[in-house]
């Protein structure tokens, strides 16, 4: 009897453990599948904004290099514009930069003007600007420095966050066996990769503007003696003739304008003379002499 009771207890225990173990296994599988699907289809994790700010040495925080975009505009008066363009090209090359663009044109008065843009390393900005000033007479100069440190740090933080997301999605993709889950995870990977490409493009643009400063040099020829065109006797004679003809034109216009008044005045004077001629002449009275 004891043996039978023991067998019954052992049989009941095995029967009660088997379903429990099965349920636990199924629950774990369902939990993993749900978690995978949530990551693959759910909204992307928010990208943290950059909160790191430049700090001073000794403060214990990371020091961030200041990112400055330097630009300058120089208006210069030179005697030889084509030669000055070649000199500017030589200066830029010697400083480790290059001549970006050149635009030269001749105005209606026959004078040449040109606009030259050169790119040089930021460390050579001041010396290059000084060399350009030495080419002629400086009419005006302006320099600008745009601080893009905050934007650069923010873009770098976003790039790091998106890169972490991409790594996580790639790990999840390796574990996916369901085609639907694979497609959804791949869509998220494509979205994150697109954002990474955009951030990389913006950062490369900023790096280029930061590393290479831009100097725009506007060139013009000096004004000739006597004005923009200089003194010219032929021009003076032509202006005198034009003035004479202009005076004639004024007199003709004035005459035609006053012609009605002249006609009316002449007619009135003629009538006056006619009426005066018809009056009888009155004999003069001789004075009587007293005896």
- As a whole number, mean pLDDT of residues 204-220 equals 94
- Asked whether residue 35 carries a pLDDT value surpassing 80, the answer given is no
Whether the Cβ atoms of residue 218 and residue 141 lie closer than 8 Å to each other: no
The whole-model pTM stands at 0.56
3-state secondary structure at position 226: coil
Confidence of residue 290 (pLDDT cuts 50, 70, 90): low
Q: What pLDDT sits at residue 231?
A: 56
Confidence of residue 48 (pLDDT cuts 50, 70, 90): very low
What contacts 24+ positions apart, CB below 8 Å, involve 52-58?
52/153, 52/157, 53/153, 54/149
Cα(169)–Cα(252) distance, rounded to whole angstroms? 93
> Apex CA 177: angle with CA 174 and CA 182, to 5°?
70
- Asked whether residue 30 carries a pLDDT value surpassing 70, the answer given is no
3-state secondary structure at position 190: helix
Q: What is the mean pLDDT of the chain?
A: 77
Question: Is the backbone of residue 133 left (phi > 0), alpha (psi -120 to 50) or beta?
Answer: alpha
The sign of the CA dihedral 207, 211, 212, 213 is positive
Which CATH entry fits the domain spanning 68-147+214-220: 3.30.70, 3.40.50, 2.60.40, 3.30.2010? Answer: 3.30.70
Cα(271)–Cα(153) distance, rounded to whole angstroms? 102
- Asked whether residue 16 carries a pLDDT value surpassing 90, the answer given is no
Summarize pLDDT for 95-154 with one digit per residue, the tens: 999 999 999 998 777 788 999 999 999 999 999 999 999 999 999 999 999 999 999 999
């Amino acid at each position: 009897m004891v043996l039978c009771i023991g067998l019954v207890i052992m049989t009941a225990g095995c029967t009660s453990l088997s379903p429990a173990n099965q349920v636990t296994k199924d629950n774990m599988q369902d939990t993993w599948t749900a978690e995978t699907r949530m990551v693959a289809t759910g909204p992307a994790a928010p990208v943290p904004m950059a909160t790191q700010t430049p700090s001073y040495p000794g403060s214990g925080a990371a020091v961030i290099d200041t990112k400055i975009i330097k630009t300058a505009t120089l208006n210069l008066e030179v005697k030889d514009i084509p030669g000055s363009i070649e000199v500017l090209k030589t200066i830029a090359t010697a400083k480790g930069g290059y001549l970006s663009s050149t635009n030269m044109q001749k105005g209606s008065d026959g004078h040449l003007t040109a606009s030259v843009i050169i790119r040089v390393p930021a460390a050579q900005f001041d010396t290059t600007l000084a060399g350009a000033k030495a080419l002629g007479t400086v009419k005006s100069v302006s320099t600008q420095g745009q601080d893009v440190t905050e934007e650069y740090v923010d873009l770098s933080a976003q790039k790091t966050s998106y890169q972490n997301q991409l790594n996580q999605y790639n790990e999840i993709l390796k574990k996916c066996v369901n085609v639907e889950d694979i497609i959804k995870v791949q869509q998220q990977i494509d979205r994150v990769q697109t954002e990474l490409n955009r951030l990389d493009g913006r950062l490369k643009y900023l790096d280029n503007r930061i590393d290479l400063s831009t100097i725009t040099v506007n060139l013009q020829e000096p004004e000739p003696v006597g004005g923009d065109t200089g003194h010219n006797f032929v021009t003076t004679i032509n202006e005198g003739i034009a003035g004479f003809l202009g005076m004639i034109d004024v007199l003709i216009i004035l005459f035609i304008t006053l012609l009605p008044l002249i006609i009316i005045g002449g007619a009135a004077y003629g009538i006056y003379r006619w009426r005066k001629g018809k009056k009888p002449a009155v004999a003069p009275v001789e004075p009587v002499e007293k005896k």
